[in-house]
Amino acid sequence: MREPIAVFVQVGPSDALTTAVRKGTVWSVAGVEVSWSDGTVDVSAHTISRVALRWVDRLPDNALILGDAWERSYGDLQWRHQQPERLLPWYFLTHDPRTGRTTGAGVDVQPNAFCSWTVDADGFTLWLDLRNGGGPTQLDGRTLSAATVRQFEDAGTPWLTLHAAVASLSTRLPARPEPAPVVGANNWYYAYGENFDEKAVLKDAATIVELADGHAVKPFSVVDDGWYPGGIAAGGPWDIGTPGVFDNMAGTAAAIKEIGARPGLWFRPLRVREPSRWGRDGGRALDPTYPPVLELVRADLQRFKGWGFELIKHDFSTYDVFGRWGSSMLTGNGSQFHDPTRTTAEIVLAFYREVRAAAEDVVLIGCNTVGHLAAGLVDVQRTGDDTSGRAWERTRKMGVNTLAFRLPQHNRFFTVDADCVPCTPQTPWELNARFLDLVARSGTALFVSIDPAARNDLTDKALSEGIRLALSGGDASGIEPMDWLVNTTPNSWRSGAETVHYDWMLPWGADPSAP
């Protein structure tokens, strides 16, 4: 990656960006030094909020531009024409429709800054958010390795270029072992955290085992939100299940195993039901820079493992750190952390590393986790916002979009999870079955939420075929969205030697809640 032509620095959160003065490979201003060495950006300062690095590179006329998402995507990933104010998290590609050439740039996974790009007619800018919560980080003179920048060359097609780009950003991660397919049941999209008990959980386990039909790879059966006292997404402590409903979580895990599935469990690690002295602003969202908070999370994970759960899904941590979702999560001027000497990215990375170490060999799913920071620290990443067992349109918008635009991250950063395929009376099975077929072919994680009331011979046949295909690893030759340059939820997909067309839209006049 060639050197930037200019560097700008923001010290305080309300300060204007100031142009740094270059001397060799170091840019200095206001007590801040920014150095560049073979693409690695180091920042030395006492106080720092942001650094911007600028490159000149004329954008082709009518170019299409693609970026990633901070954490989950929200049905918003797409190729767009020039939009200079559009923040493109982590990496970007530009595609010239006239020549067919696709290029771009990005930062390696696990950076110590929240990194995004803007692209305009004359060039592109890398923005390094180095804040601590809503205020500046007190580096106190230390040198922070903020990010390593990579440039992407054309690899033949936009799809191949994105694959090559993602691969180049993950070269420093340990080699991923050949991952076993992650396939199973999850009760969220028919139970929604309410009105289920151990009997229902064991029925889910029996259903997924029945539909797997003796496949050599065992499926999971995940107990999602609602198994503990306090209500949906209420938070910990996570030491007991709901009395009279889940009296013995170790016994529940053992019973799932006895049926023939692998038990999984959901929890929200950075939330408690009562205000805590370790909460941010004295609240219920825990501050992960307090050592006792990390000790609590470690103890929770060890307890779940001791109960016999083989998969843990940790959720909501980005919201609990930022108080916001998705694209707006870095826009607030909220409070700072208990430890103001580390950037928010450093703090989030340290939290993920603690979770990974405590979980040991348990399969970890990150949900509402920051993909570029969680890469290499979770086994599975929920890459899109929730699908739905109540409204098909949400599954189309969220599930298909994230699979199409983040599939190249699969088995490089983590196992991609486009979220559950629902089978419920409220959603049209014909459309859910198409999503099931696509996810199964992709070889990504496949979880199904099966309402017992929606089962019949038709659904069981399609579910069994999809589950068995996914347990076998999907289409070994890979799949590719063919119309992704012009469609946020592609209809045409290459699968092996064939092209498969999926119609995702409800017929005009149809009742969206019809089975």
Confidence at residue 14, expressed as pLDDT on a 0 to 100 scale: 86
Rounded distance between C-alpha atoms, residue 8 and residue 126, angstroms:
10
pLDDT tens sequence across 317-374: 999 999 988 878 887 666 899 999 999 999 999 999 999 999 999 999 999 999 999 9
Work out the burial of residue 482: count CB atoms within 10 Å of its CB; fewer than 13 is exposed, 13-18 middle, 19 or more buried: middle
At residue 178, does pLDDT exceed 90?
no
Tell me the C-alpha to C-alpha distance, in Å, between residue 511 and each of 117, 254, 429, 430, 486: 42, 42, 13, 13, 28
Confidence at residue 130, expressed as pLDDT on a 0 to 100 scale: 97
- Pairing, β 311-314 against β 262-267: parallel
> Domain containing 13: what range?
6-169
The answer to whether residues 160 and 235 belong to one domain is: no
406 pLDDT band, cuts 50/70/90, is: very high
At residue 80, does pLDDT exceed 60?
yes
402 lies in some domain: no
The answer to whether residues 192 and 245 belong to one domain is: yes
Confidence at residue 166, expressed as pLDDT on a 0 to 100 scale: 98
The answer to whether residues 135 and 243 belong to one domain is: no
Confidence at residue 332, expressed as pLDDT on a 0 to 100 scale: 67
Confidence at residue 515, expressed as pLDDT on a 0 to 100 scale: 41
The answer to whether residues 237 and 113 belong to one domain is: no
The answer to whether residues 219 and 358 belong to one domain is: yes
507 pLDDT band, cuts 50/70/90, is: confident
512 lies in some domain: no
The answer to whether residues 252 and 333 belong to one domain is: yes
The answer to whether residues 40 and 102 belong to one domain is: yes
Q: How much is the mean pLDDT over the chain?
A: 95
pLDDT tens sequence across 259-300: 999 999 999 999 999 999 999 877 899 999 999 999 999 999
Rounded distance between C-alpha atoms, residue 348 and residue 457, angstroms:
46
Say how many domains are in the chain.
2
Q: At residue 377, what is the residue type?
A: L
Confidence at residue 510, expressed as pLDDT on a 0 to 100 scale: 58
397 lies in some domain: no
Rounded distance between C-alpha atoms, residue 97 and residue 303, angstroms:
54
The answer to whether residues 145 and 273 belong to one domain is: no
Rounded distance between C-alpha atoms, residue 341 and residue 479, angstroms:
45
* Model confidence pTM above 0.85: yes
* End-to-end alpha carbon distance in the chain: 53
pLDDT tens sequence across 37-71: 999 999 999 999 999 999 999 999 999 999 999 99
Token pair listed for 254: 């053992």
The answer to whether residues 131 and 193 belong to one domain is: no
Confidence at residue 514, expressed as pLDDT on a 0 to 100 scale: 44
Percent of the chain with pLDDT over 70: 98
The answer to whether residues 160 and 207 belong to one domain is: no
3-state SS, one letter per residue, for 166-187:
HHHHCCCCCCCCCCCCCEEEEC
Tell me the mean pLDDT in the region 16-20: 97
Confidence at residue 509, expressed as pLDDT on a 0 to 100 scale: 55
The answer to whether residues 199 and 341 belong to one domain is: yes
pLDDT tens sequence across 214-268: 999 999 999 999 999 999 999 999 999 999 999 999 999 999 999 999 999 999 9
